[in-house]
Every structure is written in structure tokens, then in C-alpha cells.
Structure 1
Amino acid sequence: MKDSKATLTLRNVYHNQDSRTTDTPRIEQWGQGFLLDFKSGYTEGVVGLGLDVLGTYAVRLDDGGRVGKTDADRAPSTSGMFPLESNGKSRHDFGRIGVTGKMRFSKTELHVGTLQPRLPVVTYNDARILPQTYEGYQVTSREIQDLTFIAGKIEHSTERNSSNSDSLSIQGSSNRKTGQFSNQFLYGGFNYNINKSLALSYYFGKLQDFYEQHFVGLIHNWALPIGSLKTDLRYYNSNSTGANSSRSGRAEGYRAQGWWSSSDRDRYEVDNRIWSALFTYSLAGHSIKAGYQKVTGHSDFPSLAPDAGTGRSLYLITNSNVQAAKFASAGERTWVAGYAYDFASIGIPGLLFGTTYYSGSGIDDTVHGRRGNSEEWVRDINLSYKVQDGPLKGLGLDWKNGSWRGNDSGTVDRDESRVMLSYNISLL
């Protein structure tokens, strides 16, 4: 079929996660992943039809902790790269196949099946050896110039370290033994390029029986006489819906995570607002960023969390590239500062370096009974290189390193490193 494309990605990943406690084992895993991504073109005619297939497979090369800590000899984890067997050990391999049917009319497309959305209200996670996928449908329309409209429904998620599709939940309810789940997440919104330097976006998301969420974003790029300045403003408003909005529903397990006193009538109810501003100044390959984010309301920021312990990617200026920290707890105020350099400015295209520091305070910690007194910080370092041409074009090397410290009940002090060697082969 015309315009069809197929790419085979080889992804070799080493993951080392060392919790800075004596009773928590160190996770150390190494694996080889294979991702075959086929995207067909469309049939001819007024209505075009097509089919996309995403086949993924991963093999475990090494797994386990290292001696020196209690029970650390072999220590797989639900947050690792591979699913666990019934005996608690990591599987030797796993994989899955995702199929997406698609239809195009004019400048509007419908995708049904496997989805990988990157939107403010739902973003798939690709921080391990295989990517997370969702199942549902999505309509994308570009009929109006400079305006992109997106709407859809998600029913299940396949986690980055799983072959199985699961129902959806949020943190506070995503425990398979005691929590509650939903099979309906509705979303929609638009991106509008007001002019070449200013873009506005709005999105809405609703997880049945848990929460509904509104997002508004504004991005402005300003070309200065020397360098350029990017302003990124974001605002979320999240509230309860369905079972989570009633005391009886929350008693059944439809619960949010956050801060409440024992006498609060709205205990475990979704109630969260986040606003943030991030400013990035760029000049001759250098970029410096600074930002601030504030959380208000009783609950933590709600987002799709199909299972406890699995990773989430959030459209927040505080979404750490390495650590699980998101800096979205009830009451949290976070400062962000970072520096990045693109070596193309000195004749080495494809080589990038970046480091970011996040400092969060004022966290309302329910477990320890500290309202506004808990804090956390994260330091990320990222170094990557991708071959731009020649026989090794498509070969990439990424190194990510991070440290997470704090006294919040959700914080586990740890250091983490990831190394990924990837190679993209164009088959069609």
C-alpha cells in the first residue's frame, strides 16, 4: 500500500535502582527489546482505510539485586522492566502485539485499537524496555487551519512491563486486591496556533467513577535580539465524579490519594488544582530554564494508574525523566531549574546534555500527620547521542542518572541509572 512504513527498533537497556535503605534491595536489570512498528498508508478513494501493527518483544539478559542488603540476592520488582512470575521472580521474556484499524476522510482520521496518546490528560509511558499502550479509539481532525481537534475513549492499558491489558484506576485505588477500577476514560480537546509564536490548548478528561479534569495551556516563543525566550503556562482543575464523589462510593474503594484529617467528610475525594510556569532562555546551543509549580486542594494530582507500582508519565513541568517523583502531592510547591546544551552548535550534531533540579516543599503528608512540613528533591542528568548519517545512522546511546531524597511518606530515597542503546532499521 502506498506510503506504508515499517521500522524495526532494537533497544538494549540496563537499569540500576538503588534505594538508600538497608532493608530495600537494589534493582539491577538488563534486557534486549525488539519493536516492530508497521504503519500502512490509506486506500484510495474518498474514504481511506488502513492498518497499523505494533509488535514488541523483550528478553531478560540479567536480573536481580546484589548482595550487601537484607534479602537483596535476587530482587525483582513491580517497578522493573519485566513482569513477575507467581513465585515472585522476573519472567525470562514477554511481548505483545497491538493492532490499530484506521480510517481517513478529508483531514480527519479515526484510529481504533492500540493507542499511544501524548496529551495533557493522558500520556503513555516509554521509560523502560517496552512502551506502555492503551486500547480504545481516537478521532483527530485538522479540517480548520492551525486548529487540531482530538477526542477519544480509552478502555484498557497494557503496562510497560506487562503483556496483559488491565482496567484503569488512580493512585489510592490502584491496588488489585483492595482497589476499584473503571473501563471508561473519555477525553477531548484542541491545540490552536494563534500565530507563529503563540499556541493555546485546552483538554478535558473523565475517568468514570473517579475524576474529571480540565487543562488549559499557553506557550509563547519570543525571538529576542540575543537568543530566544519560551514561556510555558499550564493549569489543571480536577474534581470528583461518580462513585468517588459520594461517601458510600469512597467506602467501596473508589479513593484518591492525598491529605485528610480523620474528621473530614470529603476524605479520599478528588480535589486538586495545579498551576505552573516554566521559562526557558536559549542562545547558541545553551538553554537555561526556571519554573514554579503549586498544588492546592486536598488530594494529590489524579491521573490514570492501571496498577500500583507502575510508572506514570504526566504533562507537568515537574515530570522527572528518571525518578518516580512527580511533585504533584497535596499542598506541594516546587521550584525547577535546569541547563541543557546542544553540541550541534560546535559541530557535533546529535549530542545533547541536560540536567534539571526539582525542589518540592509544603507537602501534606497523611501517613506521618505532617501538614505542609514534608519535602523532597530530585536531580536528573541526561546525556544522549544519535548518529546522524553514515552506515550507523539511527544508532543512539542514552544515559540517564538521578537521585531522589525527601521525608514525604511516598518518597523512597534512591539513586538510579539507565543506559539505553537503540538502533532503528527502516524496513519499508
Structure 2
Amino acid sequence: MSKSASVNPLRTLAVLYCLSWTLAPVAWGQSVGGFQDAELDLKARNVYWRQDYRDGAPSSREWGQGLMMEFRSGDTPGVIGLGIEASAYASAKLDQRNWAAARAGVLTRNDDHLRNASAWAGGALRLRAFDTELRYGSNLRPYNPVFAPADTRLLPSTATGWWLSSRAVSDTFLEAGYFTGGKDYSSNRSRREFYASYAGVSTDRVSYIGGSHTLSDNSGFMLYASEFRNIWRQYFMNVSHAWTLDERRLSMDFNLYHSQGQGRKLAGDIDVSAWSFALGHTRGAHTVRLSYQRIEGDQPFDYLGMAPGSYHDSIYLANSSQMSDFNGPHEKSWGIFYDLDMSHYDMPGLSLHARHIRGYGADGSAMNPHSPYAYYGSNEKHWTAEVDVRYEIQNGAARGLSARLRVGVHRMLQGSSNVSSRQIRLYLEYPYSIF
């Protein structure tokens, strides 16, 4: 249910615009084949990404424009309803330098060929019964601790397969997925494979089951299990709680993963536990958090990739950051985080986030030399410092227009599994509801 092509960006914009008016009668309350209450949303996103290296390697730069259209029909009447969902994405290159030096994934490529412009379309069928939905298609975007396709570049990643989700139980969200392929954020076509990001090996099938339960306004937990066929089985648990004391709020968050090799063990023998613990204190506009993270095992903690060299969001550990995940074998790390919400100072929509994380003790000396993870040294040490500033216009004709600047520095003090670099990301985004 997907289609890809290299196109003229202006032609693609015109097609998406015409499509919006073709679907408009559905939104005006007219019954078209029994479908009502449809939604059609358009989002424009501009991304600039620059990477500089301390070892003298040439800097790289990627700059592009993306356009995303999402259509969701209403459901047919009755206890069991049928609906459709469709997505159309287009991207265009604005500037690029030293593509071979660093592939940030902002611009679209097929293998080693960079495209000046591209487009992709996909869809899904949806079956609803009460508060439970079953989807089948190529534009699915679940987001959870064991399977989370990223949306951090020009265009989002999508998965192909089955996705079941339910809120039939009060205060509980349950879901299960079975996927046989996906489209990476830097691609305009679906592949019948997923990757272990750090190992670089692939599988043709990923499945998971899990959910979350809210115990109160201040506490809850999550449990998930997944399988990357012939690579690993992975389990996840999260517990969170908060206390409100006068004008202060104290919070606690604990995450735990365990991964074990499965089937043919294409990434070798895996037996890794990874956990993190964070404490936060909020007063007014200010939040300060302290975190500690630890990897226990002779391999790094690995997670979802959807193309060679791509990294997605299936890592709910406190110290996973813009520049590094601090997930090496036996690695320990601590972090300090500061968040500022300027709405407390009559500047709604403006926020600042800063963090500093230091990792030490990553040790790959006990690893099988034939392992795909055999690129870690002994007692590696490194740190990151990152700042994230965001602003979104709250009112007026430009309501929803947002700008985000992310700046990060990473320094390797000892070891060779990563490099010292500096990164700048700038996002401009405007969402528009057509109907």
C-alpha cells in the first residue's frame, strides 16, 4: 500500500493541494460511502542540520524542505466501524555539503544516491469496535519503548504491518504490533527489513505487546515485550511517581530493559540489562533533574533502526540524548538536566532545555572479537552538553508556527567507539488543519 517516486517539488505541492480539495466534501458532513467526520492535516517542516568534527574531518551540512499530508476518515456507523487513513509526503533538497562525510538522514537517499526531491504515499485500513482499533497498512506510526519509528528529520518514519490498540479498560492503554517492513526517515520507499542500530544486522519481522496503566494523576507504570526475529527478545518496565508539596513537585522515573539473543542470533550472543533512574524537582518555571544510568552486559544496549546507520526512538533511558546514548557495554553515566517554562513569565510557547551527561567505564574487552559490536575499547569516557530552545506562536494567523534550535557538543576523552563533534539543528514547522 505504498508508492514512491522522484518528483518535481512544485508539482508535488500542487498534487497535495488538489488532493485536499478533492477530499473536502468528506469534511463538510456529506456522507461519502458512509464516512463522516474526516480530518485532513498539512504540515510544512524546514530542517537545517550541521555537523562539525574535532579531528579535522570536513564538516557536513544538510538543509531541506518537507511537506506532510495526513488524512483520516471517520468510521462507518454501527458497533463495528470501518475507516481509512492515508499519508502523502514530499521533500526537496535546499542545500547539502559533504554528503559522504556524515549522513544525518535529513535528505532523502536511495542507497548511496542523494535525491534532489522525492515523494511517498501510503495508507491503512482501520477497524474499530468500541474503544479498540485494528489497523493494517504501510503508514503506521506506533511509538513506545520497544518500537518507536522516529520523526526527527524532514519526514517521519512509518511501518508496514498490523497494529492493535485499545483503551477499553479504564486508565489503561494496551497495544500489540506485527510488522514486516518500514520506511526510514531518509528514504522514499519501504524496505522489508528492520535493523539492530548498533550491530547493523537486519530482520524481516518485528512484533511486540505491551501497554501502560495510570494509577493516579501522579503515578503509573508501563510493561512491554518485543521480538526482533533472529536477533533478540527485549523486555521493558517503567515506574513513575510524583509528589506535590505546596508550590513544589518532586518526581521519580525508573526504566529497565533486558535483551536476550533469539533464534539465529544474527547480532551474536546478547544478554544485556540497561536501567536508569531520575529524580526531578519543579518549582514554578524551573525543573532540575538528576539521573543515573547503567548498562550491565558484555554488549551495548541496542534498539530499533529502519535502515543501515539509522537510529530511532526505542530507547527510553534517562541519559539517551541528542549526541550519544551512553549505552556501551558496562557503561555508567550520570546527567543533570534543567528545563525552563517561560509561560510562567508571560511568554507562553517559549521553553529552554539544557543537559550535561558524562559516561565512563564502557568496556568491550570481554566481547567476542567476531561480534558486530566489537568496536568498543576499554574504560571509555566521554561527555555531552546540549541546549534545546523552542518557541511556538500561540495566537493569530500564524498560530502553531514553531521554531526549534538544538545545539550539542560531544567529546570523547578516552576510547574510539564514537567521535568528538559539534551539532546544530534548526527546525521551522507550520501545521495547518485543512478540515
TM-score bracket for this pair, using the shorter chain length: 0.7 to 0.9
1:112 aligns with 2:136: yes
1:409 aligned partner: 416
1:348 aligned partner: 347
TM-score, normalising length from structure 2?
0.86
- Do the aligned partners of 1:76 and 1:90 also contact (CA within 8 Å) in 2? no
Separation in structure 2 between the aligned mates of residue 236 and residue 182 of structure 1, nearest angstrom: 20
Cα gap change, 1:182 to 1:155, in 2 (>3 Å) = same
- Do the aligned partners of 2:274 and 2:296 also contact (CA within 8 Å) in 1? yes
1:281 aligned partner: 281
Of 99, 122, 129, 2:123 maps to: 99
Q: Secondary structure at the match of 1:169?
A: strand
Of 175, 194, 209, 1:168 maps to: 194
Offset of 1:101 from its aligned partner?
A: 1.1
- In the alignment, structure 2 segments of 5+ residues that lack a partner are 1-34, 366-373
Offset of 1:377 from its aligned partner?
A: 1.1
TM-score, normalising length from structure 1?
0.87
- Do the aligned partners of 2:376 and 2:417 also contact (CA within 8 Å) in 1? no
1:425 aligns with 2:424: no
Separation in structure 1 between the aligned mates of residue 281 and residue 385 of structure 2, nearest angstrom: 20
1:318 aligns with 2:319: yes
Of 56, 62, 66, 2:95 maps to: 62
Cα gap change, 1:361 to 1:142, in 2 (>3 Å) = same
Offset of 1:90 from its aligned partner?
A: 2.5
Offset of 1:85 from its aligned partner?
A: 6.1
Separation in structure 1 between the aligned mates of residue 110 and residue 196 of structure 2, nearest angstrom: 24
RMSD: 1.7
Relative to structure 2, which stretch is displaced further, 162-171 or 292-301?
A: 162-171
Of 149, 155, 160, 1:124 maps to: 149
**Can you list the C-alpha shifts for 1:90-149, whole angstroms capped at 9, x where unaligned?**
210122112121110011111111211110111111121111111111111112111111
1:183 aligns with 2:207: no
Offset of 1:173 from its aligned partner?
A: 4.3
Offset of 1:402 from its aligned partner?
A: 0.3
Task: Please give the residue correspondences for 1:359-374 in structure 2 after superposition, counting only pairs within 5 Å.
Answer: 359-365=358-364, 370-371=377-378, 373-374=379-380
Cα gap change, 1:84 to 1:106, in 2 (>3 Å) = closer
Separation in structure 2 between the aligned mates of residue 327 and residue 363 of structure 1, nearest angstrom: 9
- Do the aligned partners of 1:63 and 1:90 also contact (CA within 8 Å) in 2? no
Separation in structure 1 between the aligned mates of residue 345 and residue 81 of structure 2, nearest angstrom: 46
Q: Secondary structure at the match of 1:344?
A: helix
Task: Please give the residue correspondences for 1:24-423 in structure 2 after superposition, counting only pairs within 5 Å.
Answer: 24-65=57-98, 75=100, 77-84=102-109, 88=112, 90-113=114-137, 114-166=139-191, 167-171=193-197, 173-174=199-200, 179=201, 181-244=202-265, 254-255=266-267, 268-313=268-313, 314-320=315-321, 322-323=322-323, 325-365=324-364, 370-371=377-378, 373-406=379-412, 407-423=414-430
Offset of 1:75 from its aligned partner?
A: 4.7
Cα gap change, 1:369 to 1:333, in 2 (>3 Å) = closer
**Can you list the C-alpha shifts for 1:222-275, whole angstroms capped at 9, x where unaligned?**
11123101211111111111001xxxxxxxxx12xxxxxxxxxxxx31111011
1:249 aligned partner: none
- Do the aligned partners of 1:20 and 1:413 also contact (CA within 8 Å) in 2? yes
Offset of 1:37 from its aligned partner?
A: 1.2
Offset of 1:59 from its aligned partner?
A: 0.4
Q: Secondary structure at the match of 2:216?
A: coil
Offset of 1:89 from its aligned partner?
A: 5.5
- In the alignment, structure 1 segments of 5+ residues that lack a partner are 66-73, 245-253, 256-267
> Structure 1 counterpart of 2:74, which letter?
G
- Do the aligned partners of 1:25 and 1:75 also contact (CA within 8 Å) in 2? no
> Structure 2 counterpart of 1:397, which letter?
A
- Do the aligned partners of 1:229 and 1:280 also contact (CA within 8 Å) in 2? yes
Separation in structure 1 between the aligned mates of residue 163 and residue 349 of structure 2, nearest angstrom: 33
Separation in structure 2 between the aligned mates of residue 347 and residue 152 of structure 1, nearest angstrom: 43
